[in-house]
Chains A and B, each alone.
Chain A
Amino acid sequence: DAGVTQSPTHLIKTRGQQVTLRCSPISGHKSVSWYQQVLGQGPQFIFQYYEKEERGRGNFPDRFSARQFPNYSSELNVNALLLGDSALYLCASSPRTGANTEAFFGQGTRLTVV
């Protein structure tokens, strides 16, 4: 069974540019969440989407946006990149929304902003 897949695996961008990261959840899972993991720290919540609707948003600036498609895949978009946006971006897939729900992570996209 395919797990959570993310693309690309690595990406290098210049300050001020825009980036789009993609995620395909586990088959049958309808919820996708995005996390940012800076080196040496735990993941920080950015967004959660369920049935194409935003269900949660973390403490990130409006430069960060996301959407979920009818097939439950998702994109994370970051505009006007800053050096501090360099991180591992993780997508987590869950069968449903709400508390007490297992979340399974993909391998992540390593974004480097130069």
Chain B
Amino acid sequence: GESVGLHLPTLSVQEGDNSIINCAYSNSASDYFIWYKQESGKGPQFIIDIRSNMDKRQGQRVTVLLNKTVKHLSLQIAATQPGDSAVYFCAENHKGAQKLVFGQGTRLTINP
């Protein structure tokens, strides 16, 4: 069946450190992945996406890594800032599907 899960429900990091948020997916047909950031009371905000023909993609302070062999996705945030505090969701989409499948989310908190 389809499922996207996260290894850790919460993650606490020091301000300035790098954050790594992990995600496992089970559908081998998944070929497109998106990371979203959701702040309290707001809708999910698009961060970065990656297609299955790529292993790595970089944005501004963020990098997404895709390991199709073990069906694992990660989001790396460089020099974490207080404004990065939020819940982060990975979502998958597979060929022919019209929907995104979301995981439960990881809450990232930043320690001063």
| Residues of A in contact with B (beta carbons under 8 Å apart) | 4, 33, 35, 40-45, 48, 55-56, 58, 88, 90, 92, 97-108
Contact = CB atoms under 8 A, between A and B. Distances in A.
B31 A99 contact: yes
A interface, over-half SS:
loop
Contacts, number: 67
Nearest to B43: A105
A99 B97 contact: yes
A39 B90 CA distance: 17
Given A102-B34, A105-B45, A42 B102 contact: yes
Contacts of A98: 98
Interface in B64-100: 89, 91, 93-100
B63 interface: no
A111 to B, nearest CB: 14
Contacts of B31: 99-100
8 contacts: A41-B104, A43-B89, A45-B99, A92-B100, A100-B93, A105-B43, A107-B43, A108-B42
B98 A55 contact: yes
B95 to A, nearest CB: 5
Contacts of B97: 56, 99
